[in-house]
Amino acid sequence: MRTQVGIIGSGPSGLLLARLLHLQGIDTVILESRSREYVQGRIRAGVIEQGMADLLREAKVGERMDREGLIHEGINIAFANRLERIDFPSHTDGKVVMVYGQTEITHDLMKAHIDEAGGIVHYEAPAVRVEDYDTGSPRIIYEQNGQRKELICDFVAGCDGFHGVARQSVPSDKISVFARNYPFGWLGILSDVPPVREELVYVSHECGFALCSMRSHIRSRYYVQCDLDDRVENWTDDAFWDELRRRLPPHVAETVTTGPRLEMSIAPLHSFVAEPMRFGRLFLAGDAGHIVPPTGAKGLNLAASDIYYLCRALLAYYKDKRTDLLDRYSETALRRVWKAIRFSWWYTSLLHKLDDDPMTHRLQIAELDYLTGSVAGRTTLAENYVGLPYETFE
């Protein structure tokens, strides 16, 4: 089998790239190791930057997002029994973020690209390795129905996540890896209860971080910082709600609506960057090339910016025979990646309990007091949270 662009992974980044290229007449084939039902059912991020929202509209999959998504013009930061709001539009020339779940984005992309446009996605067809990526005809070796097959492409996009084969197909001495593991995790609960506030609440407390988020007006997602060796089995629903309320300012805690869990899980936090993100005609995008802590809501949004740069580089090649944007893809994408890694590290360090030293917490409170009381501080946070602008190409 042959195609122009072979894509490994049918998550939002792989589907978005395929959809954008399809609209420009470029053929793709997506290989996915899991079933369609599994991919569509994954519960992931819910806050998207304006740049990603605009990219989804460009892909002609933004109609339901614009109808059902929740526009947020700010966030709240709780500390020292205070609740301070950071307004986005006044500090970012009108930019906002939108709460619209990754599950919904995946559903919209599947419907548009597969069901309506007939895009080719092979589910339960795990890629084994990428070969000949330094030639003009790279090949993806994959398995399907117990048989070994190959997909020959002009280019390969590795959108297959941190554990995928795209990055693993490159010799380790060709990649520089930067990693940081954080000594805590997030215990999260999903429940059909109204959110405690109309906008997200980030909490710094002496007992640890907490986050009040949502998926809709009637479905909420809450998190509390926990130890890495903690287990979901250690937590009842009542224990979780009690711990969440303990970390909120009293006037906020009393407005929390509790309910049974739909899902509860513990997520470790870590940062990871692989350099470069291009190897001949193999390109990494999304979690295949970088991971960020969820504190700043950058993971899915970074994947979108990778796709923005990669799509435009491929279009320049197919439409105008230009190779300069392909040559610059890794450098351009990584500039934005590292800025997001920096922001997520800073925001995580600012809000989480780092140790048992009371001075550390007092210093965090002092920084939060400065941050929320300073125009420069509020602007810095707002600019990074709504998303730094994409670089434009001539």
As annotated, the active-site residues are 72, 202, 294, 298, 385
> What counts of helices (H) and strands (E) characterise the chain?
12, 20
* Chain mean position to CA 180: 17
Q: How far apart are CA 189 and CA 228, in angstroms?
A: 16
42-52 in b/e burial notation, b at 16+ Cβ within 10 A? eeebbbbbbbb
Of 192, 330, 159, give the one whose Cα is nearest residue 261: 192
Q: What is the DSSP string of 324-393?
A: HHHHHHHHHHHHHHHHHHHHHHHHHHHHS---S-HHHHHHHHHHHHHHHH-HHHHHHHHHHHH-PPPPP-
* Sign of the alpha-carbon torsion through 161, 166, 168, 173: negative
* One-letter identity of residue 78: A
Q: How far apart are CA 242 and CA 245, in angstroms?
A: 5
- Torsions phi, psi of 160, nearest 5? -105, 20
* One-letter identity of residue 211: L
